[in-house]
Amino acid sequence: MVSTGPGQGQGTPISVSRRLLARIRDVMAGADTAAERLDQVVRIIAADMVAEVCSIYVRRGADVLELFATQGLKPSAVHQTKLKFGEGIVGDVAQKARAFALADAQEHPNFAYRPETGEEIYHSMMGVPVLRGGRVAGVIAVQNRTRRHYTEEEIETMQTVAMVMAELIASGELFDAAADAAEAAAAALPLRLEGLMMNEGLGVGEAVLHVPDFHIEQLVADDPESERRRLHAAFADMHGSLDELLADDALAESGEHRDVLETYRLIAEDAGWLARIEDAIRTGLTAEAAVQRVRNDIRARMANATDPYLRERVHDLDDLAHRLLIHLVGGQTVTAVKEIPDRAIVVARNMGPAQFLDYDHEKLAGLVLEEGSPTSHVAIIARALDVPVVGHVRDVLTQLADGDTVVVDADNAQIFARPGADVLTTFEEGVRKLAEQKTRFASLIDEPAVTADGAAVSLNINAGLMIDLKSLADWNADGVGLFRTEVPFMARSKLLGVDEQTRFYAQVLDQAGGKPVIFRTLDIGGDKVLPHWGGADGENPAMGWRAIRVSLDRPALLRQQLRALIRAAAGRRLHVMFPMIAEVSEFVAARDLVEMELAREKAKGRGVPDVLKLGVMLEVPSLAFQLPALLGEIDFLSVGSNDLGQFLFAQDRGDPRLAGRYDMLSPAVLKFLSGIVEACDARRVPVGLCGEMAGRPLEAMALLGVGFRRLSMAPASLGPVKAMVRSLHVRALEAEIEGLFDRPDHAVRDQLRGFAADHGVEI
């Protein structure tokens, strides 16, 4: 038997799939036990697909697949054959949540021989995952003796059948769930899980599992046309409700919320998506089953996408599919807009911005995601709402239950579930202290940032989104010391044109209300991936083709940005700085582009900025050795200690294995920084520091000790740093710190802490 297409002499693949579905539907509607129904289903599939074998594996426990029914393999293997996720081809299907079709399965490196099944005589194999609520609930496998090439249509048909099986498995009739429940109970011990900090903060609350799940009653429909009409009606409804979300007053003022949701609506309008759903309807599915079917596909794709940006966009589609289902099944939804406890920790695989906003944010104490990235839409929204987020927490959904007490310790990228009383008390105390501190810092807002011995310190914020600018006024900061212009690019699905950028930068300047904003030109590459730009490449992206290197090699993007900045700041002050400058000539080349753009604007008779200041970031150590040549050229300098640290120590800043290995409070770093400040002061070039260390009170104290008087930090750090500044006698520290420069220590953290303790510095 050679490759047997489902359509052979029996009509189109669509009608075949409809016929198979109809038969399975009849079985499902019958009065037999679940196990008997499963047996009938494998027989029907095997016959319909002209396959010798059809088997259904069901997930048991965390990651085991158990053979539940088979046509063709030895019946005695049922409930005996068990495969781990990743084991064998079936295990691979489960692990990757992806369908496989192999003409010669035994040649496949993952082929796992199981003597009890007698399967050595089968050559070809197709396996599809049974997906439910985004998780793999089982696998359906079809095998043939010959080297058969399964067609796309056959695979699609099996995926549709898998949806029906998902409902049967979820019904709980197949196995006594007691054993699995016992396993879950055994796991209900206190748990600490690590992840990735996506928004800082600390929160304690009750777990609310966000498992958007639907029980789709009707999978198969007889009248595709009426299903198509239902789909379109639901689509229109969904648009209406997204419009309402966009019109929400709470969102009206903040640009990014709106941008994110606008983007989202554009994705919703993507005709390709709708067309795929309509195709699925034509194969005989109801509208909701078709949406679910396409959604399963999307999820499988998402699992395989490596580009984080792409994964996020695909995830938006998943979120939209969920919305569409809500509109289709109307009212049957399980989790959307549900009542949540007063202090809720939402736990999800991943979620879109709109789903997140469905929860009452007054009650949100934290968010935990299995996936996500700091640049994902949901992270951006969470940051704006000040909700701590830990992402990349593996399998968290399977390890938590609704109502579990959870601590989200985002600052340390960890969560605690069902913590013991002592751990809980410690964190509750932490939350209380944070609230107290917030009140205390709020009382300093109108106090000047002047040291106890009279040195004025300029405290600025690092920003990247419009919403960050609110903090400028809220905390009475002096300005924006670093505006990371790549962030708005990352938050959107496309590159921004000159007009869009101009509007955006003008809005930033308006919001800043006359306070200076230092715009850093695009720092892309490294860990900052833009849409349509491709992922980070090269062996060592942080030291690779990024930031000013990209800008000078592909000047069009930088020139557009400069044009937009110049236009946005016409008649006002404009500060621009360039990232990752490694030698003076790079600054000179960048400045030439600025001048070219200025001349262009003037030639067109357009207004230009009243004052234009150009600066560089000192992030690459080589630049520190060119200060005599550099300082005559620039208007200001800002030390980017995040990158500088990684280059000084040859320590990848993104590698968790190196986190904490070297210390920015080492004699080497302090001496290095002191030399930079000294050189800048001598030439009267304003110098500041805008890396993360500026926002940590002890580190910020050390920076004042080596001479910095201008710091830029995340808005949340302004309060603690100002409290430190106001309690510090900086002259005494300066006298002491010099004595630490040539010490052999790994760090002088302890000595600095000792100084703070002895001199009553609030750190």
d(CA 53, CA 145): 9
Going by C-alpha positions, the residue among 116, 165, 399, 163 that lies closest to residue 288 is 163
The interface partner of residue 316, options being ligand PEP, Mg ion, none and the CB cut-off 5 to 8 Å by kind, is none
Instruction: Select which of 377, 392, 575, 680 is catalytic.
Output: 377
Q: Give which of 530, 540, 544 is closest to 582, Cα–Cα.
A: 544
**In angstroms, how far is the first alpha carbon of the chain from the final one?**
77
- Per partner kind, with CB cut-offs from 5 to 8 A, the member of ligand PEP, Mg ion, none near residue 641 is ligand PEP
Helices (H), 443-530: 469-474, 486-490, 498-512
Residue with smaller CB distance to ligand PEP, 579 or 719:
579
- Binding window for ligand PEP (CB under 6 A); candidates: 2-10, 378-386, 452-460, 639-647: 639-647
Q: What is the CA radius of gyration of the chain?
A: 30
Q: Decide: is 291 part of the binding site for ligand PEP (CB under 6 A).
A: no
> Based on CB atoms, which residue is closest to ligand PEP, 137 or 670?
670
Pick 219 or 648: Cβ nearer ligand PEP: 648
Q: With CB cut-offs between 5 and 8 Å by kind, which of Mg ion, ligand PEP, none does residue 350 bind? A: none
Catalytic (active site) residue 680: no
**CA-to-CA distance for 389 and 379, rounded, in angstroms?**
7
Binder of residue 484, out of Mg ion, ligand PEP, none (CB less than 5 to 8 A by kind): ligand PEP
- Return the bridge partners of 525, or none: 528
Residue from 48, 288, 409, 643 touching ligand PEP (CB under 6 A): that is: 643
**Residue 597 contacts ligand PEP per CB under 6 A:** no
Q: Does 640 bind ligand PEP (CB under 6 A)?
A: yes
Among 51, 482, 713, 723, binds ligand PEP (CB under 6 A): 482
DSSP annotation string for 61-103: TTTEEEEEEEESS-GGGTTT-EEETTSHHHHHHHHHT--EEES
Note whether 674 binds ligand PEP by CB under 6 A.
no
- Among 193-201, 279-287, 636-644, 664-672, which window interacts with ligand PEP (CB under 6 A)? 636-644
Instruction: Return the range that interacts with ligand PEP (CB under 6 A); candidates 154-162, 188-196, 589-597, 640-648.
Output: 640-648
Which helix (H) or strand (E) segment holds residue 699: the answer is: helix 697-705
Query: Which among 550, 432, 422 has a CA at the least distance from the CA of 489?
Result: 550
Half-sphere exposure of 404 (CA within 13 A, CB side): 27
Please select the residue that binds ligand PEP; options are 691, 695, 705, 720, rule is CB under 6 A: 691
Please select the residue that binds ligand PEP; options are 92, 319, 404, 523, rule is CB under 6 A: 523
When the beta carbons of 35 and 668 are compared against ligand PEP, the nearer one is: 668
From 9-17, 134-142, 315-323, 635-643, span contacting ligand PEP (CB under 6 A): 635-643
Name the residue type at position 498: V
Starting at the edge strand that comes first in sequence, how are the strands of the sheet with 191-194 ordered?
191-194, 414-417, 405-409, 202-210, 344-348, 364-369, 389-391, 196-199
Cβ atoms within 10 A of the Cβ of 707, count? 18
Angle formed by the axes of helices 255-269 and 377-385, nearest 10°? 150
Using a 10 angstrom Cβ sphere, with 0-12 exposed, 13-18 middle and 19 or more buried, the burial of residue 429 is exposed
Task: Indicate which residue of 315, 575, 680, 690 is catalytic.
Answer: 690
Residue 690 binds which entry of ligand PEP, Mg ion, none, CB below 5-8 Å type-dependent: ligand PEP
Q: Which residues contact 178 (CB under 8 A, 6 or more apart)?
A: none
- Binds Mg ion by CB under 5 A, chosen from 609, 640, 705, 707: 640
Shortest distance, CB of residue 196 to ligand PEP, whole angstroms?
16
Q: Taking a C-beta distance cutoff of 8 angstroms, is the pair 7, 153 a contact?
A: yes
Shortest approach of ligand PEP to residue 641 CB, angstroms?
Answer: 5
Nearer Cβ to ligand PEP (350/641): 641
Binding residue for ligand PEP, selected from 641, 666, 717, 751, defined by CB under 6 A: 641
Position among 28, 690, 721, 724 found at the interface with ligand PEP (CB under 6 A):
690
| Binding flags for Mg ion, 585-624, as an x/- string (CB under 5 A) | ----------------------------------x-----
Residues 402 and 446: beta-carbon distance below 8 Å: no
Is position 486 an interface residue for Mg ion (rule: CB under 5 A)?
no
667 interface partner picked from ligand PEP, Mg ion, none, CB below 5 to 8 A per type: none
Burial class (CB in 10 A: 0-12, 13-18, 19+), 439: exposed
Contacts of 634 (CB under 8 A, 6+ apart): 587, 614, 615, 616, 685
Under 8 Å between Cβ of 372 and 198: yes
Hey, which residues between 407 and 426 contact ligand PEP (CB under 6 A)?
none
CA-nearest of 348, 228, 310 to 277 is 228
Residue 81 or 641 having the CB closest to ligand PEP? 641
What is the binding site for ligand PEP (CB under 6 A)? 482, 484, 523, 619, 640-643, 690-691
Residues with catalytic function: 377, 690
Binding site for Mg ion (CB under 5 A): 619, 640, 643
